[in-house]
Structure 1
Amino acid sequence: MHLCPFCSIAAGRGPARMIFEDDHTLVFFPLAPATLGHTLVVPRLHAPDLWAMAPTEVERLLATALRVGAALRDHLAPEGMNLIHSAGSAASQTVFHAHVHLVPRWQGDTMGPMWPGDGAEVRDTAELDALADEMAALLLPPTPPRP
């Protein structure tokens, strides 16, 4: 039996403060928001993360996130906003159904900083240069086969 809480919400059986839905997405406030206006944008179809979704479904999800984010920004006038997608437990994902968090932010809010401070690990520049070269090569357009 599938026990995904977001699938339950999509089926109308789970608790949620629903604020918008269409054929492809659901938008609701989490039960324990990080800040005022913290919103989840969720695809109706179950997939564990963005990389498991078809590109058209990702586009629909992000288009809804942009629309809702603009409405939150206009209505609440936050000082900033995070758009967060976590993929995998190492990235703090706790519900393994793709979703995007929109988190309106204000200086000194309870969310805290997103990134490590001054004590962050410093990487070897040679390691970073090598990774940049490797990634650039992976992202080149495919070479057409020779006749």
Structure 2
Amino acid sequence: MKRTEGINMYCPFCFPEKDKEQSIVLSNESCLFVQKPQPVLLGSGLIIPKSHRETIFDLTPQEWQATFELLQQVKGLIDKEYQPQAYNVGWNCGHVGGQEIFHAHMHVIPRFKDEPLAGKGIRHFLKQPSNQRVRQNES
């Protein structure tokens, strides 16, 4: 039976099998781990809920639990295949937060000590002085 509940017909993450470059590597009852060949972010991928949820804040408690469980499996797989020294794991929520596809997705990015940006976390660029907001007078 074809899944129709919780689906957005125009969302690429609701139909991940349509992207021929992408592989569904792992899954459980509520979410998938997908990867595409990445020349820079070797081994990285996304954990996405099977049901269309716009942001992380829309996940059900069951989807949260399933995401956590799948993340542990993903880490084991990436550790075995790539032996990274660290990880960045994160969500972008909303356009201003950098979200480009409005179906919740967790980035899982293995990090390596020989990268030019080793030691720079997900906040590195955001906390630069050039990103400071210009505040309006509060009077």
Instruction: Give the TM-score, by structure 2 length.
Output: 0.72
Q: Which runs of 5+ in 2 are unaligned?
A: 1-7, 133-139
2:25 paired residue among 19, 39, 57: 19
Larger radius of gyration: 1
SS of residue paired to 2:47: strand
Q: Distance in 1 between matches of 2:38 and 2:77?
A: 21
Q: Give, in angstroms, the shift of residue 22 of structure 1.
A: 2.8
Q: Distance in 1 between matches of 2:54 and 2:117?
A: 24
- Checking the alignment, whether the CA contact within 8 Å between 1:80 and 1:105 is kept in structure 2 is yes
Shift in CA distance, 31/77, structure 1 to aligned 2, threshold 3 Å? closer
Matched ranges for 1:111-122 at <5 A: 113=120, 114-116=122-124, 119-120=128-129
Q: Distance in 2 between matches of 1:56 and 1:23?
A: 10
Q: Which runs of 5+ in 1 are unaligned?
A: 123-147
Corresponding residue for residue 11 of structure 2? 4
Q: Which runs of 4+ in 1 moved over 2 A?
A: 12-15, 30-34, 107-122
Q: Which has a greater percent of helix?
A: 1
- Deviates further, 42-51 or 30-39: 30-39
- Deviates further, 54-63 or 16-25: 16-25
- Deviates further, 113-122 or 63-72: 113-122
Shift in CA distance, 74/32, structure 1 to aligned 2, threshold 3 Å? closer
Matched ranges for 1:60-71 at <5 A: 60-71=66-77
Shift in CA distance, 101/111, structure 1 to aligned 2, threshold 3 Å? farther
The total of aligned residue pairs comes to 120
- Checking the alignment, whether the CA contact within 8 Å between 2:23 and 2:36 is kept in structure 1 is yes
Cα RMSD of the aligned pairs, angstroms, is 2.6
- Checking the alignment, whether the CA contact within 8 Å between 1:43 and 1:99 is kept in structure 2 is yes
1:47 paired residue among 50, 53, 68: 53
- Checking the alignment, whether the CA contact within 8 Å between 1:24 and 1:43 is kept in structure 2 is yes
